[in-house]
Amino acid sequence: MKPTSVNSIESKQTVEAESKLKKITTYNWIFKDYLFKKSVIFPVVFGIVFLFFWEIKVFHMIFNLELYQLPTPITIVQSMIENWLTLMFYSAYTGTEILGGFILGSLLGWIIAMLASLFPSIGKGGVTVIASLNAIPIVALSPIMNNWFGDGIGSRIAIVTISTMAAMVVNAYKGFQSIDGNYLDLMYSYASRKSQIFMLLRFKHSLPYIFAALRINVSASIIAALVGEFFISSKGLGFLLSDQIQIGNMPLAWSCIVIASLMGILFYNAVEVTERLCIPWKNS
Amino acid sequence: MGSLAKRQNHFVSTLLWMIFLVAIWEFTAWILHSVVHINSAETKWPYFHDLVINIFQNIPVLFEQGSITFGKAAQGFIIGTLAGMLLALIMSFSKSVKYTLSPYIISSQMIPVIGLAPIIFGILRDPDLSRIVTAGYITFFPVTINMLQGLENIKPQQLELMRSYATPSWKMYTKFKIIAALPNLFSGMKIAAPLAVTASVVVELMGAPNGIGVLMLSSLYYGEAQAHMFWSVILICVFIGIASFIFILLLERIITSWQPEFHRERNET
Amino acid sequence: MDVKLEYEEPTVEVSVRDVDKVFKGKDKEVTALKQVSFNVHKNEVVSLLGPSGCGKSTLLRLMTDLLQPTSGSISIEGNDPKYARLQRKLGIIFQTTTLFEWRNVKENIELPLEIMGKSKRERSETALEMLELVGLSKFMKQYPRQLSGGMQQRVAIARALSLDPPILFMDEPFSALDEFTKEKLHLDLMEIKRKTKKTIIFVTHSIPEAVFLSDRIIVLSAHPGRIHSIFEINLGYDRKPEIRETKEFFDYITQVRSCFYEEGD
Ligand SMILES: Nc1ncnc2c1ncn2[C@@H]1O[C@H](COP(=O)(O)OP(=O)(O)OP(=O)(O)O)[C@@H](O)[C@H]1O
Ligand SMILES: [Mg+2]
């Protein structure tokens, strides 16, 4: 009895080894492991079908829309190609606002969170007050900033700064503070200075939280810049968007949305790549 | 120190900060008005107490317009929340739907969905409907994402326990999964609430006949003469945003009162 | 007479005198420790044993200056714990490994030396030596999360040893590990003791663990935490795993266990 059972286990193992070998063939790579994976093929097909239906005006029929209300994808692309120079220029303009405000706001938020965590007994209430900035509708900010900084680029940078700051304060503060007591005890037992505790423990521990805030701030900063430009501006994607809608040039308005979205996706992925570089211990 | 005392401390310190900030505001206003004499100080930085007085003098109109904006945002918010919950449930029920839609739902986090607000107004041309639709779809995305995360992140052991009771799959949802996902649903709603107000105001700026956004535009138009009114409108706007956020917060405390962070007994030393 | 002349009075390394510890809550007071006194001698392994909540961790935290006694006094090598801490003479190992997840194994071991401001070369040399001691030289470039629980705890031990403290304070260091890893680490600890001549104060709630490792077991009873009894374990200095199967070993276990039963009624 015993030898046979051992044999059967052995044969089972060889079968498994063979099946593992099979997995690496090209056939499997294309059809099972990567290209034809449901999670890839389904959304791609869905996207194509969606665009196709849109192009042949299925949605126009269903919702009773005219072409001047909802342009088709091809006309949007055409308009993008025709106006590429304007779009590029405005994207660069809006991009500067976004990036400038994003960096300023995140940095400012980080500094405030750091100060608050150095003096937590006073700081905690301050963090709560700043967290309420999160609940402020951005539109309320833009006329104020226009009053203060005029209708130039500075006004939007200020808006983006304020709307990205709150998320960073809240997250970074959490990252600085949410440290297991044993770690603090350990540092205490080494008789480490407060600055060492900050640099060696709190700062490193807060990195994932900081990147979470940065990821939130990607779309927050773009939204803030666009909404800021809706108001009083003579340049930028947000201005072009609202301006073209006023004169009924929908394809160009849609182009602005498409470009802003592409900017967002690009920006978001850039943040994620940076995160992977800065936090190597999380994903190796 | 007990948790109650801790919470009271936090409350007091928050209150002190607010008082401190108002004092700073008044001081800055005084500097700008009476020391350095900047141009159009009234529009740039009015005294806080003037604004409070103005708000009380204009309570009827501010309340009326504010409640229109808030009402539209709230309607859209409710519809968006329900739609988001429904889609999240469908996605957690059917793998195919999940595969198909999740890349799009996820990328909605990366793109400025509010950019569509003027376009929707352009399509619908109806101010009330536009406000509701815009607030609705802006609510929809964060709610869907967070709810789906909640449904997916349930601990496997808990699921197995429920399975071992031979719970039918629909009951699994009504009795267990939805409840387990509620905290996530609320964090989605907390993100969405101020955005819904923003959405509503943006549509008003594009040309609705009423609402707080219109009040904002008109008072801006009259410049210095209506500076106090303009600032009051902004404050009301901020107030609505924060109030909607706090409302969701309270709702969360009532509905998901079991969450550990709402009653932390042992404190860390 | 001759025997008596050879006898050398053991040096007292840690001395705990009449220590009370009361935690003051908002509405109630918890007396965690009451009238606790004992000495720990040089090169001795002493276990603090007792049921959950009897104040073992509190006692350890008092000795390591993480808490202050309500009354009574504690001295380490003749000075108060604070002095020992400032001299970096405390090696503490917690139940959870408290490794820094963003530092690899070697960098984790270097951490206390870095805080002390030791030069890079010195840090590296000491770390390599400690890695050798706990047998983890091969893994020095790994991040903690890539290691098993037992290996992580060995890194924590190496980190504590890198300061070369005279005393190791260990708070249930092996409780979270499986039985096999635990027994392996017991032997490792034996060897570390033999090689480094450390005094070890070891908190546990496992009777066999306490018997196997200790020269003395201090049994604490709960509510309020006080010393119930003290057992001398004479199983030799360097203990092999075979000891676990001897009659003496079981006798000690039975002896220690009995004092929990007489209390439990
Ligand atoms: N910071 C504190 N505040 C109030 N009470 C405390 C505090 N720390 C410990 N206690 C109380 O002191 C008593 C002893 O706690 P301690 O943690 O020392 O027990 P222990 O023997 O280590 O238990 P375990 O085996 O569970 O680790 C317990 O009743 C505990 O509730
Ligand atoms: Mg303990």
With beta carbons under 8 A apart, name residues in chain C contacting B5. Answer: 26
Residue C60 Cβ contacting ligand 1 at under 6 Å: no
Question: Which chains contact A through at least 3 pairs of Cβ atoms less than 8 Å apart?
Answer: B, C
pLDDT of B269 over the 90 cut: no
pLDDT at B59 exceeding the cut of 50 = yes
CB atoms within 10 A of CB C5: 7
Give which of B106, B79, B77, B101 is closest to B90, Cα–Cα. Answer: B101
Q: How far apart are CA C19 and CA C16, in angstroms?
A: 7
Nearest C-alpha neighbor of C51 from the set C214, C221, C263:
C221
Question: pTM of the prediction?
Answer: 0.83
What's the CA gap between A24 and A5, in Å, rounded? 30
CA of C70 to the centre of ligand 1 (A): 15
Strand, helix or coil for residue B85: helix
Distant-in-sequence, close-in-space partners of B18: CB < 8 Å, separation ≥ 6: A129
User: Using one digit for the tens of pLDDT, what is the confidence trace for B162-200?
Assistant: 777 777 777 777 777 888 888 889 989 988 888 898 889
How many B-C residue pairs are in contact by the CB < 8 A criterion?
6
pLDDT, tens digit (0-9, with 9 covering 90-100), for B118-150: 888 878 888 899 999 999 989 999 999 999 988
Residue C84 has pLDDT above 60, yes or no: yes
Asked whether C55 lines ligand 1 (CB < 6 A), one says yes
* pLDDT attached to residue A14: 42
Q: If you classify domain A75-278 with CATH, what class do you get?
A: mainly alpha
Identify all chain C residues contacting A209, using CB atoms and an 8 Å cutoff. none
Which pLDDT value is given to residue C260? 75
Indicate which ligand has the atom closest to the C-alpha of C225: 1
Say yes or no to pLDDT of B107 above 90: no
A242 contacts B130 by C-beta, under 8 angstroms = no
Mean pLDDT by 10 residues, chain A (284 residues): 40 45 54 67 90 91 86 94 94 95 95 90 83 77 84 90 91 90 91 90 92 91 90 86 87 92 92 90 72
pLDDT in tens, C202-254: 999 888 899 989 989 999 888 888 888 888 888 877 788 888 888 888 888 88
What is the distance in A from the centroid of ligand 1 to the CA of A4? Answer: 57
The residue extents of the domains of chain C are 12-89+167-258, 99-164
Separation of CA C57 and ligand 1 centre (Å): 7
Phi/psi for C35 (5° steps) reads 50, 55
Asked if B241 lies within 8 A of A139 by C-beta distance, the reply is no
Give the full edge-to-edge strand order of the sheet including C29-41.
C29-41, C12-24, C71-76
In this predicted structure, what is the pLDDT of residue C185?
87
Percent above pLDDT 90 for chain B: 25
Stretch C115-132: mean pLDDT: 90
Measured from the CB, is residue C41 less than 6 Å from ligand 1?
Answer: no
Interfacial A residues in 122-141 facing B (CB < 8 Å): 122, 124-126, 128-129, 132, 134-140
pLDDT at residue B160 is higher than 80: no
Which of C36, C56, C205 is the pocket-test mutation for ligand 1 (most atoms within 8 Å of CB)?
A: C56
Q: What pLDDT, on a 0 to 100 scale, did the predictor assign at position C111? A: 92
Contact B1 C27 (CB under 8 A): no
Axis crossing angle, helix B227-255 with helix B59-93, rounded to the nearest 10:
40
Distance C56 CA to ligand 2 centre (A): 6
In three-state secondary structure terms, B150 is helix
Burial label, C104 (beta-carbon count in 10 A; 0-12, 13-18, 19+): buried
* CA separation for the pair A101, A225 (Å, rounded): 9
Contact C85 A188 (CB under 8 A): yes
Which chain A residue's Cα is nearest to B239? A136
| Averaged confidence pLDDT in chain B | 84
Distance from the Cα of B153 to chain C's closest Cα (Å) equals 21
Structure tokens at A263: 């900017």
Instruction: Decide: C138 and C146 in contact? Cβ < 8 Å.
Output: no
Residue of C102, C139, C161 to mutate for A, most A C-beta atoms under 10 A: C102
Q: Which CATH architecture does the domain made up of C12-89+167-258 adopt?
A: 3-Layer(aba) Sandwich (3.40)
Q: Is the pLDDT of residue C140 over 70?
A: yes
Q: How do residues C173-195 score in pLDDT, each as one tens digit?
A: 888 888 888 888 888 888 888 88
Residues A111/A257, Cβ–Cβ less than 8 Å: no
Is A73 an interface residue toward B (CB < 8 Å)? Answer: no
Cα of C32 vs centre of ligand 2, distance in Å, is 12
Q: State the nearest Cα–Cα gap between C248 and chain A, in angstroms.
A: 37
Pairwise CA distance, residues C242 & B101, whole Å = 62
Gap between the Cα atoms of A17 and B142, Å rounded: 45
Shortest Cα–Cα distance, B262 to chain C (Å): 19
Kindly indicate the confidence band of residue B1, based on its pLDDT and cuts at 50, 70 and 90: very low
